[in-house]
Amino acid sequence: MPLEQNPQSPDISGDLAALESQVRDDLAKTLHPSAPWLEPKTGPDGRPALDVLIVGGGQSGLATAFGLKRSQVINILVIDKAGEGKEGPWLSYARMHTLRSPKDYTGPDLDVPSLTYQSWHEARFGKEDWQKLNLILRERWAEYLLWFRRATGISVRNGCELLEIAPAANELLAATVAGDSAIETLYARKIVLATGQEAMGNWAIPEPLRHLPPTRVVRASDDIDFTALSGKTMAVIGAGATAFDNAAMALEAGAAEVHLLCRRSEMQVIQPYRWLTFRGFLRHFCDLDDAWRWRFMRAILELREGFPQPTYDRCARFPNFHLHEGSPVESARETGAQIELRMPRGTLRVDFVISGAGTEIDFAERRELKNFAGNIATWADRYQPPHDERSPRLGLYPYLADDYALTERVAGVTPWIGNIHLFAFASTMSFGPSGSSINAMTTAIPKLVHGLTRGLFRADLERHWNSFKAYDVAQAVIPRPDRAG
């Protein structure tokens, strides 16, 4: 696999250069079978179509591209609407100091030791620093992902947004994308949507607050000017790690009072993702029948993720931080320059609200899904849980095929969506932790890559058969007596 040097990348220290050489070596030694096996199809524009278009250049998109390249699927393209290095949440709305996952969880490296975060960290900061390290700084994780991309030779077309997907001739998909200056159509046999937490919807604003102006109520994923909150009274909705991170940012910026409103009577402090982190669950959850998949994921996703102690402590050290348990917002209205929030146990007046209530599934929210949003099958379309396991919220999750492909609500209406593969948080109901989780990458990405190569191989069966029949490369030369003589 070639190493593409990026001219804009920072200088490589001696140790990093040595590590990159090790990566090249490791990849060269594990290249087998290295024979090319795909032939580009021709798009309606007369040019070769991509085998796979990967949308999203975050950790999932990069790891998928890496997995495909190792499978000799090299006619691929990764695009991301963000600028180089700005992919994913790490340098924008991720507002924690460190990752929450333990430092030894491997991820995009796909089990190649020289590509792990640990190897990069040791090369960059020394083995001793790694030993002393508690949790990975999020800026370092972002830097590591950029290095991973360079070391594996994956190029990403940044500043390129997917706007629309439609079917095209020759069993291709047509992706309309907007770049710096132009809108163009890319043709691909398959598209992977590695578009992050909000891939199939958006970050949620609870219903009672939706009518309020964006100058007063924002999502945790928005670009928030925390310095402007100095001296202000504010509320954060939600009690997950993201809600706490946003409350901490406001407190650290000098907010007068920060109220964190938790719907439940008691906050959730268990982290179910720690329990499920074992190979059996991560690898084989997707092999379970619908009843078991629903039972597990409903229990896990209804519980929601807990947060670690430092996340709580970062807020609790401020005397002007107020935690309100059992406080769902029942109604909200503007009163002059403030917002009045009504909860079962009282009323609060605040200047500003940040919603950290997680993401919700709503296919229609995403422009790139609009051509087929109405025909994406959901769990509610495919499975009716017992009465005590119902969850309308989770019923909205897409019901994916065993290769992460979208499936049709009504068969035959949009059959081409079977070539759109979703690797994002919304894949979780079908696959357990998979997209949007460092935790699961080492098992989930190979499964996705396997599904993609299986589809590409099967679709080309006739060509492979003809190629086999035409194969006439002799391995040995047998001298024959000259019979005519």
Ligand X SMILES: Cc1cc2nc3c(=O)[nH]c(=O)nc-3n(C[C@H](O)[C@H](O)[C@H](O)COP(=O)(O)OP(=O)(O)OC[C@H]3O[C@@H](n4cnc5c(N)ncnc54)[C@H](O)[C@@H]3O)c2cc1C
401 residue type, one letter: A
Q: Which two tokens stand for residue 5?
A: 């040097």
Binding site for ligand X (CB under 6 A): 55-61, 79-82, 87-89, 94, 99-101, 161-162, 194-197, 242, 368, 424, 435-439
Coil, helix or strand for 76?
strand
Shortest separation between residue 381's beta carbon and ligand X, angstroms: 25
Q: Which two tokens stand for residue 485?
A: 């003589």
CB 217 within 8 A of CB 209: yes
Shortest separation between residue 354's beta carbon and ligand X, angstroms: 13
Q: Which two tokens stand for residue 389?
A: 């396991």
Q: Return the number of the residue (160 or 209) whose C-beta is nearest ligand X.
A: 160
Q: Return the number of the residue (38 or 194) whose C-beta is nearest ligand X.
A: 194
Which residues sit opposite 188 in a β-bridge? Answer: 50, 173
Shortest separation between residue 172's beta carbon and ligand X, angstroms: 19
Distance of alpha carbon 274 from alpha carbon 293, whole angstroms: 18
CB 264 within 8 A of CB 243: no
Shortest separation between residue 479's beta carbon and ligand X, angstroms: 59
Q: Return the number of the residue (242 or 378) whose C-beta is nearest ligand X.
A: 242
Whole-number Cα distances in Å, 312 to 138, 269, 286, 318: 18, 10, 33, 11
Distance of alpha carbon 339 from alpha carbon 353, whole angstroms: 8
Q: Return the number of the residue (349 or 367) whose C-beta is nearest ligand X.
A: 367
Coil, helix or strand for 183?
strand
Q: Return the number of the residue (373 or 459) whose C-beta is nearest ligand X.
A: 373
Shortest separation between residue 358's beta carbon and ligand X, angstroms: 10
Q: Which two tokens stand for residue 217?
A: 């109520």
Q: Return the number of the residue (42 or 176) whose C-beta is nearest ligand X.
A: 176
Shortest separation between residue 86's beta carbon and ligand X, angstroms: 7
Distance of alpha carbon 25 from alpha carbon 87, whole angstroms: 28
Q: Return the number of the residue (348 or 406) whose C-beta is nearest ligand X.
A: 406
Q: Which parts of 179-277 are beta strand (E)?
A: 183-193, 201-203, 217-219, 233-237, 257-261
Shortest separation between residue 229's beta carbon and ligand X, angstroms: 19
